Amino acid sequence: MKNTFYITTPIYYPSRKFTLGNCYTTVICDAVARYNKMKGKEVFFLTGTDEHGQKISNNAKAAGKSEKEYLDEIIADAKELWKLLDIDYDKFIRTTDDYHVKAIQKIFKELYDKGYIYKGAYKGLYCVPCESFWTESQLKDGCCPDCGRPVIAQEEEAYFFKLSAFTDKLLKLYKENPEFLEPQTRVNEMVNNFLKPGLSDLCVSRTSVKWGIPVDFDPAHTVYVWIDALFNYMTALGFKSDDETLLNKFWPADVHIIGKEIVRFHAIIWPALLMALDLPLPKRIFGHGWMLFGGDKLSKSKTVDSKECVDPRILAPRYSSDSVRYILLREIPFGSDGNYSTEAFLTRFNADLVNNYGNLVSRTFSMLKKYNNSIIPELGELEQIDKNLFEMVDQEIKNVDRYMENFDVSKSLISIFNIFTSANKYIEATEPFRLAKAPDKKGRLDTILRCLLEVIRKGSLLLYPYLPNCTTTVLSAFEIDPKEAKFNDLDKFSLKAGEIVHSIPMLFPRLDIQKEMEELSKLAE
Ligand code: MSP
């Protein structure tokens, strides 16, 4: 069986600095990638930027910069942001990369030679100062949504892709492969809104957009948006280059994780383009919901400096990258939209990270220090309450595995934190602090401490893909490197009696929520 796992984020538009919304998909992909590594798979995790189009060119001009200068600054900031959030990607593709540009030209030509691309005329509403075409629905009060000036009806020569030829093939694809597009609600949207009414051909070149990949056999045209953007998932692996080793190893992708607004492009245009070239299709596409900020998706219209938008560049250094990852992964139910609020972020921080996980670790380690000089004790005979705890842990490990098959990071975290809640309750129920006062109960005390240490080890390994920092710290107390850990390690009791548990710094400080709210709103001004 193929033991590789190829996962991708969308390539984001660097038309402005990335927001917490962009972090949402990227952090999910990072957690899923790390999880699959732990499952023993050879993982390739791709992210990147979608750099062509008039909007980028206009933004650069407005900033008094060349496109390249403008983009380089935003991409440097994006890479810093991924570092800040511990995003462990394998490759960052930029659609302005030379190898991508060359590959796209070859792909466009091949589609043309096969008769899937033909020349026609594009009719649209054009904003002259912005040099941009808009559709009726994109207009704001009948004017250009970017500059607010009037638009004119205009026509230009353009190439088209024969998307209309693929309606039946796509319906068949969805029917025969229920996993291809998830959640199921997205399939219904595609079928009812686009496939049943019948697909129209797609405009794939422009003469009015200069900032794009030139069509090499007709240089007045540049490749327009989706052929350039979607094929990144393959060109990043060397498709149409001299070296297709990675492509042969990792294509087809195991999953493209994307926001729901671009499902249409990934679930309709992308498979149609691949079918036209007789190429294997991605195995799964997952269209997640939006993280809403005061009811707004906020990804396109506002800047990171606006008050409502919380900047991950402020949050991560102040509260840790793990805490930002936690709110992103935990707060939004599987596949639906969910709200972000600063208050929810701070409340979860205290309730889950400080009072639950942090508290379990610090209580256990300090009891171990006090009652056993930080030495891992022997495991005595297990009582029913100990067995119940481990049965519960094992059940939650199975649940996490089942949820992660479907990229349900939020439910996985609920399961993992159930483990910590149960372990804290186990401390209350077994009262090790009381046993410590009775010398004849030392054996039982040792067993309880040992059980707690094993639960901390298992729970921290399980939590590592989601929160890599704090778990690495906790596991370092046992000299365990989670990067090397495998999922099967979770089956065992693997600590060794007699070994020392090193002391570690406090994981998360308790926050004064009111005070933090005030400070953050000052910073966001
Ligand atoms: N460039 C295209 C994608 C091409 S992929 C071949 C694009 N870029 S984008 O910059 O607009 O990024 C959109 C993506 O960012 C969404 O699909 C989603 O993954 C992520 N998100 C941006 N804001 C978001 C939220 N508020 N909530 C959840 N995801 C969000 O579209």
Q: 122 forms bridges with which residues in the sheet?
A: 156
Ligand 1 within 6 A of CB of 259: yes
Mutation test residue for ligand 1: of 12, 15, 231, 293, the one with most atoms within 8 Å of CB:
12
Q: Say if residue 183 is preceded by a cis peptide, omega within 30 of 0.
A: yes
pLDDT at 75: 97
Q: 206 forms bridges with which residues in the sheet?
A: 222
Distance between alpha carbon 223 and the CA centroid of its chain, in Å?
A: 28
* Residue identifier of the C-alpha nearest atom 30 of ligand 1: 21
Question: Which atom in ligand 1 lies closest to the alpha carbon of residue 292?
Answer: 26
CATH number, span 312-491: 1.10.730.10
Query: From the CB of residue 411, how many other CB atoms can be counted at a distance below 10 Å?
Result: 17
* Residue identifier of the C-alpha nearest atom 9 of ligand 1: 12
pLDDT at 15: 87
Cα of 252 from ligand 1 centre, angstroms = 22
Q: 257 forms bridges with which residues in the sheet?
A: 286
Cα of 60 from ligand 1 centre, angstroms = 20
3-state secondary structure of 472: helix
Listing DSSP states for 254-289 in one string gives: SEEEEEGGGHHIIIIIHHHHHHHTT-PPPS-EEEE-
Q: At what angle do helices 67-84 and 54-62 cross, to 10 degrees?
A: 100
Ligand 1 within 6 A of CB of 290: yes
Ligand 1 within 6 A of CB of 291: yes
Cα of 439 from ligand 1 centre, angstroms = 61
R_g over Cα of the chain: 26
Per-residue pLDDT tens listing for the chain (525 residues):
679 999 999 999 998 889 888 999 999 999 999 999 999 999 999 999 999 998 899 999 999 999 999 999 999 999 999 999 999 999 999 999 999 999 999 999 999 999 999 999 989 898 888 877 888 888 999 999 888 999 999 899 999 999 999 999 999 999 999 999 999 999 999 999 999 999 999 999 999 889 999 999 999 999 998 999 999 999 999 999 999 999 999 999 999 999 999 999 999 999 999 999 999 999 999 999 999 887 666 544 444 334 545 889 999 999 999 999 999 999 988 889 998 888 899 999 999 999 999 999 999 999 999 999 999 999 999 999 999 999 999 999 999 999 999 999 999 999 999 999 999 999 999 999 999 999 999 999 999 999 999 999 999 999 999 999 999 999 999 999 999 999 988 988 889 999 999 999 999 999 999 999 888 877 766
Question: Which atom in ligand 1 lies closest to the alpha carbon of residue 293?
Answer: 26
Ligand 1 within 6 A of CB of 282: no
Mutation test residue for ligand 1: of 56, 299, 331, the one with most atoms within 8 Å of CB:
299
Listing DSSP states for 186-245 in one string gives: HHHHHIIIIITT-PPPEE-EESS--SS-B-TTSTT-EE-THHHHHTHHHHTTTTTSS--H
* Residue identifier of the C-alpha nearest atom 2 of ligand 1: 12
* Residue identifier of the C-alpha nearest atom 5 of ligand 1: 10
Cα of 258 from ligand 1 centre, angstroms = 7
pLDDT at 98: 98
3-state secondary structure of 301: coil
Q: Which amino acid is at 466?
A: Y
Ligand 1 within 6 A of CB of 230: yes
* Residue identifier of the C-alpha nearest atom 23 of ligand 1: 21
pTM for the model stands at 0.95
